[in-house]
Every structure is written in C-alpha cells, then in structure tokens.
Amino acid sequence: MTKLRTAIVGAGKMGKIHAKVYSKLDCAELVAVADSDIERAKSLAEKYDCLAVSDPAALLGKVDAVTISAPTIAHHEVAALFLKNHIPVLIEKPLASSAQQGRQIVELAKANDTIVAVGHSERCNPVVQAMKRLDIEPMFIEANRVSPYPFRSMDIGVVLDVMIHDIDIILSLANSPVKKVDAAGVNVIAEHEDVCNARIFFENGCIANVTASRLALKTERKVRVFSRQAYLSLDFFRKEGIVIKADKNIDLVKWIREHQEKQDFDFTTVNWTDLLHIENLQIEDGEPLRIEQEAFLNAILDKSKRPEVTGAEGLAALECAEKILQGVKAHQWEK
C-alpha cells in the first residue's frame, strides 16, 4: 500500500489528536511536527519518532500531505505556503479567520489543482453519517450545542469555535443557498460572544434555528430535523438517535382524523408515543477524526474520491458564520 508522508502543523491539543490518528493509518507515515514553540513540537515528535521543526517551510519537499491545527489566525499563511507548492492540506475548522481569507485559500487550491479539506469532524460523527444515508429533505432544523467553559480557543467566539460544526451540518442538509440570517449573541467572559442564537433562512424554504453556548452547566449536542419523509431526534454526544418515518405512520394520521370527527372521543386517554412507529437510528461506530483523515488521504491517492468536507464547503460554513456574527453585531442590547 502507498504510504503518504504526513505532517502536523500546530502541536496543541488538536495537533496531538491528529498525530495519534495518523500514526494508526496504514496509508500514512507521520514524518514531522511543526510548531512555533519548538519544545512543544519536539515533545510531540519524540512520541512518534519523527522530525520537529519550528518553521513549516522546512517541511517542503519532505511531505505529501499536511494537517494544519495551528491557531485560526495562522491558517491562511500556512495553507498558502503548502498549496503554492502543490501539497494538499487538511485545515482544522474554521477554514480561516475570515471569509475573505477562506476564499483566497479555496482559489489557491483551485489554481494549483491541490486538495483542501476542512476539519469539520462532526460531519464524520457516526450519527451524522447515519442521518446522511436517510436522504431526507428537511423543512425545519433545530440544533443545540452547549457546554461548560472550555478555557481554550480564546482567539475566537462561540460561533467560529462551536456553532460552526452545526452550521456545516445544517448547510449540507438544507442543500440550498442562504437567503437571510437573524442572530443575537452576548459576550460574558471573553472578548468575543460566549452565547449565540441564530435563525437561518434558506432559498428553498428550509429554516434552521441554532444555539451555541460555552457557559452551560452540562454538555449537550442535539439536533432535531423535521421533513416530509421523517422526524429525527439526534444526540451527537451520546451517539444515538430516533427516526419517526412518515410513510409508516399514514394509518395513524387517518385514525386521528377519523376520531376528531367523533364528538365524544376523549383524546386525553391516548398516549401519543404508543401510537407512533419509532425506530432507533442504525449507527455504525467509528472515530470521526479517523474517518475525516482517511477520506482526505484517499482523495489524494484516488482523484475520483473527495474529502468529507471540501474547501468550498468549509468556505460556505465560514460565510454563513460571518453573516451570523454580523447579525450579532447589528443586534444592539439596551444598556
């Protein structure tokens, strides 16, 4: 099997996780770690017996693929370095610190015919993968992603740090251009917003309501999807979900309508859930980052394949996130 020489740029928390996954893939050989803090780079490189450098440019000529897990502000500069040298990159979400920089990355990739993948690892969550196989057309989506304060990613707010996961998933489900966005948010601890709610309207009529917070008392990652084909209730954190399919409940609708015509029927005696045909979503277990990295490397090895999240999709999520941030800024709280 062909082994691609891979490297990590950014030896922080996510860099360590990516390095661990690369070390386990048959099609990858982790050859280097780059970080501006050379001691941190050496610490991670020693663990995997590979090269440590402080300057990513030192990796040119030594690698076939790179994962960029450096701080968001550095994504554009580092990605440009490798793309100009025809080296594919997997960039941790968000794609860049601004949509303008994100567009430049995507344009560079196209100009150099080189792959850009974006690390929206939640798209690789087994629950999302299972939901994708249902091939539904959502009419309304509700997403909630909240957690206690993480004490990381202080350079960005909750929209680019946390909500962007659900933005990416929602965009892939809605499969339609964004028409408009309404949003409100507030910063409590950090300089950037810590809590945000947004309502996204799509041109095909789908509406999404999404909430993110890093000030909650517990961690919750849930999505509900309403469509003509089915109702889905999903828990990304617990990796479980239920499906209520419309075609298997047609007789129930008929039954309700018939009994509504009966003046003396007491609906308070009816247990709603007993009437529904509810299925547990069939979820195949899998490690999201492994799925993400394998798809990235396979797209390099086989031109007919594509990453789980392309640069263009990562840019679409970033553009939507910026619209939400503009909405937050426009929403003036009374003082």
Tell me if 206 sits within 8 A of 142, measured CB to CB.
Answer: no
The ranges assigned to domains in the chain are: 4-122, 125-287+319-330
Residue 285 pairs in a beta bridge with: none
The amino acid occupying position 253 is: V
Q: Which pair of structure tokens corresponds to residue 196?
A: 């945000």
Which structure tokens are listed for 229? 């084909």
Domains 4-122 and 125-287+319-330 share a fold: no
What length does the chain have? 335
Beta bridge partners of 209: 142, 199
**CATH number at 125-287+319-330:** 3.30.360.10
One digit per residue, the tens of pLDDT, for the chain of length 335 reads 689 999 999 999 999 999 999 999 999 999 999 999 999 999 999 999 999 999 999 999 999 999 999 999 999 999 999 999 999 999 999 999 999 999 999 999 999 999 999 999 999 988 998 888 888 899 999 999 999 988 776 678 999 989 999 999 999 999 999 999 999 999 888 788 999 999 999 999 999 999 999 999 999 999 999 998 889 999 998 889 999 986 777 677 788 888 888 878 888 888 888 778 888 988 888 889 999 999 999 999 999 999 999 999 999 999 999 999 999 998 876 65
What is the Cα–Cα distance from 166 to 222, expressed in whole angstroms? 10
Residue 229 pLDDT: 84
Checking phi first, is residue 86 left (phi over 0); if not, alpha (psi -120 to 50) or beta?
left
29 neighbors 15 (Cβ within 8 angstroms): no
Return d(Cα 167, Cα 165) in angstroms, integer. Answer: 6
- Can you give 133-158 as a three-state secondary structure string? HHCCCEEEEEEEEECCCCCCCCCCCH
pLDDT at 55: 97
pTM over 0.85: yes
Strand partners, 186: 195
H helices of the chain, where?
Answer: 13-22, 38-47, 75-83, 99-111, 126-134, 158, 164-174, 250-260, 272-275, 288-301, 311-330
Q: Which CATH architecture has domain 4-122?
A: 3-Layer(aba) Sandwich (3.40)
First to last CA, the chain: 63
What pLDDT is recorded for position 258? 85
| Per-residue model confidence (pLDDT) at position 273 | 80
Interatomic CA distance for residues 321 and 311, integer angstroms: 15
